[in-house]
Amino acid sequence: MTSPTERGYPRPQLCRANWQSLNGEWDFALDPKAAWNEPRDVTWNARIVVPFAPETEASTVHETGFFRACWYRRTVAATTLQEGERLLLHFGAVDYVATVWCNDHLAARHEGGYTPFCVDVTPFLNGGDATIVVRADDDPQDLAKPRGKQDWQLKPHSIWYPRTTGIWQTVWTEVVPATRIDRLRWTPNLERWEIGFEAWLCGSTSGRLRMHVHLSVGDTVVADDTFTVIAGEVHRRIALSDPGIDDYRNELLWAPERPTLISAKIELWADRADRIDAVTSYTALRAVAVQRDRFVLNGRPYLLRLVLDQGYWPETGLTAPGDQALKRDVELAKAMGFNGVRKHQKVEDPRYLYWADKLGLLVWSEMPSAYRFTQASVERVSRQWTEAVTRDYSHPCVVAWVPFNESWGVPNLPDNPNERHYVQALYHLTKTLDATRPVIGNDGWESVATDMIGIHDYDSRPDRIARRYHADEVLPRLFRRERPGGRLLVLGEGAPAEQPIVLSEFGGIACTDEPGTWGYSRCSPDEFAQRYTRLLETVRSLAVLSGFCYTQFADTFQEANGLLRADREPKFPLPEIAKATRGPDPRATDAIDPLAAVGLSDDDQA
C-alpha cells in the first residue's frame, strides 16, 4: 500500500491519512474592476478547473487580458466529524490576496502569491455541506509586490511571461484532532551525527502529552524515541549510531548520487495512553556549507552543475499538469547531467521538492522579485520570504537561498545606501531563519552580502569566457575590472578574498527560427549540440568556479533558449547533453541511468 506522500499528498513532510483534494471544477467569475465585495454580489457565469490559473488553457477560462480580481465557489459535501475533530481547508498558493468565506461567513484573508495558508472551517459547518467562496485580488500593474516573471504588459515581452492570478496550487481538506501536530522541522548535523527534531502543536496542550518519533531507512530502524511535550513544543536532538567507517557512513548520507531518505512516523499520545494524532514525514542526513572558495556537500568540495528552471508549462503556466510532470522534470534535469537546478523567480510546489528529495537533485530556492523599492515592497518581500524559508526549511534538496536576483527591486543598489541595507538585512534575516545553508544575497552582480558570488555572463564566445575567468590572477582582476552585464560584481571597499564563485547564469542559446522567439545568442538546430558542448567544455575547465548554472532547462513561451522544448522534448539526444554537461570526469556521475530515468530507450532519442 502506497503512503500518502506517494499518492500526491500536497504537504509531503507532514502527511495524514484523512484528506481530500478539492482540485477540479469550481464555479467562477471574473471581476475586472474588483467591484464585488461579498459573495452575494457575484454573478457566477463560468466554470474553471482548479488549480490552473484563469490565464491558462488548462483552466478552460483562458483569459489573458487585464483583470483586478476573480471569484471561485465550490460546495463540499458534509464531512462526518467525531467529537473534537476539526476540518481544515488548505490552499497551496493563491495569487495575490485571498479572501475566503465558508457558508457566507468570512473565514480568512491571506496576502502572498507563492506561500500556503490554512483555514479551520469547523465553526462554519453547522453539520451540513460547506460552500467555499474565494476572492483573489491581483492588480496586474502592481510592481511593488513579489511577482517573479509575471508580465505587467498586456502580452509577454522579453524575459517576462503570462500573469498568474488566483488559485494555482492544490486546494485540499483534512480532518484533524483538536490537539494536533501543526508543524515539524528537521535539522541534520553531520558533526554530531544526529538529526534535530522540532514539533509545534495546535490546540489544547493541557495535561501530560508525549511524542513518539520512529526513524527508519528501509527496514532498518535508526531511532525510536519518546519525548515529553513542554509548552506545546518539542525540541530534541536525535543521536544516530555512527558506524565510524566512511563506506558505511556514506550509505546513510543524502546526495544527488545516493539520495537516502529517512522515513519518520510521529505520534502524539495523551497521559492515559490514548493516541491523539499521527503523521508521517521524512528527513535526510546531509550537510551543505562554504569552505573558503568551494561549495561543500557532506564535508567534501562539490562542483555544482545546475540548470536554470523557470517552472512553466505551455498549457498550465506556473502549475504543473500533474504530479508526474513534476517528477519527470526532476528526472530530465538529472538525465541531462545536472546535479541541481536554480528555481528561478518562483517558490516551487512542495511536490517538486519532494521528488528532488527522493530522486536526488539539489535546489537553489529563489524569491520572486518585486520591481519597485518602496516601503510596501520591503514589507511584502520580507514577510513572504520568511514564509517561504519556513515552508521549505526541512527539504534536504534545498542547498541555497537566493532572496534577490540581478538587483531587481533594488535598481539603484550602487548609489542608494537604503537599498544596500535592505539586501544586507534580508541576507542576515535568511541566515537567522536558517544558519545551515549558504545565502546568495543578490545573484548575478552587485553583491553586498553573500556567502557565494553568483555571476551572470551571457557572452556567446567561449574564448572570451575562458580569458575572463581562466588565469592565476583572475580574482583581483575579475572583481576590480570585469563587468559582465555592465555591472560591478561586488559593491563596497575591497573584494572578497575567498568565496565560492558560481557562473550562475550563462549560455541561453536559442536554436529556432520561429518568429517572435529569442535567446541570448542564436544558432541553427544543426549547430546547437556543438555550440553547447564547446561552451560547457570551456566552463568546466575553469578551476576558479565552484559551479555553474546553464540557461535554461526548457523553452518558456517566447524565450526559446532551453535544452528542452516547452513540451520537454530534448533538442538533441539526452545522452549527448549529459556527456557535454558532465564531461569525462568519472566522479561526475549520477546514480540513475539518464535514459531509464525518464522511461526512454535509445531509439526514442534519435
pLDDT at 592 over 50: no
pLDDT at 604 over 60: no
For the chain, how big is the Rg over CA atoms in Å? 24
Report the Cα 555 to chain-centroid distance in Å. Answer: 19
In the block, cell 471581476 appears at 31
Show the 3-state SS of 560-576.
Answer: CCCCECCCCCECCCHHH
What residue spans define the domains of the chain?
Answer: 23-169, 180-189+191-283, 296-605
Distances, alpha carbon 415 to alpha carbons 46, 59, 139, 411, 559, in Å: 50, 45, 30, 9, 32
- The single-letter code of the amino acid at 584 is P
Topology at the third CATH level for domain 296-605: TIM Barrel (3.20.20)
Q: Comparing C-alpha atoms, which of 502, 397, 506, 401 is closest to residue 452?
A: 502
Looking at domain 180-189+191-283, does it have CATH number 3.20.20.10?
no
Residue 451 is predicted with a pLDDT of 96
Residue-wise pLDDT tens digits, 470-480: 765 565 556 55
Residue 492 is predicted with a pLDDT of 65
Cis peptide before 162 (omega within 30 of 0): no
Residue 597 is predicted with a pLDDT of 36
Q: Comparing C-alpha atoms, which of 482, 579, 588, 589 is closest to residue 537?
A: 579
Residue 516 is predicted with a pLDDT of 85
Distance CA 310, CA 105 (A): 38
Distances, alpha carbon 496 to alpha carbons 186, 480, 485, in Å: 32, 11, 20
Neighbours of 204 (CB within 10 A): 11
- CATH hierarchy code of domain 23-169: 2.60.120.260
Phi, psi of 232 (to 5 degrees): 75, 15
Q: What mean pLDDT do residues 84-112 have?
A: 96
Q: Comparing C-alpha atoms, which of 195, 203, 197, 202 is closest to residue 184?
A: 197
Residue 79 is predicted with a pLDDT of 83
Instruction: Assign 83 a pLDDT band (cuts: 50, 70, 90).
Output: confident
Residue 7 is predicted with a pLDDT of 66
Q: What mean pLDDT do residues 353-381 have?
A: 97
Compute the mean pLDDT over every residue in the chain, rounded to the nearest whole number: 91
SS3 559: strand
SS3 342: strand
Distances, alpha carbon 136 to alpha carbons 93, 130, 155, 363, 401, in Å: 11, 19, 21, 29, 28
Consecutive H or E run containing 339: none
Residue 226 is predicted with a pLDDT of 95
**SS3 breakdown of the chain: % helix, strand, coil, rounded to 5?**
20, 35, 45
pLDDT at 292 over 80: yes
7-11, 103-107, 560-564: the lowest-pLDDT one: 7-11
Task: Report yes or no: 172 and 21 within 8 Å, Cβ to Cβ.
Answer: yes
Residue-wise pLDDT tens digits, 52-65: 999 999 999 999 99
Distance, first Cα to last Cα, the chain: 38
% pLDDT > 90, the chain: 81
Distance CA 31, CA 213 (A): 48
pLDDT at 606 over 70: no
Residues in Cβ contact with 218 at an 8 Å cutoff, skipping those fewer than 6 apart = none
pLDDT at 341 over 70: yes
Task: Report yes or no: 180 and 288 within 8 Å, Cβ to Cβ.
Answer: no
Report the Cα 370 to chain-centroid distance in Å. Answer: 17
Residue-wise pLDDT tens digits, 184-239: 999 999 999 999 999 999 988 778 899 999 999 999 999 999 999 999 999 999 99
296-605 and 180-189+191-283 share a CATH fold: no
Q: At what angle do helices 462-469 and 525-540 cross, to 10 degrees?
A: 10
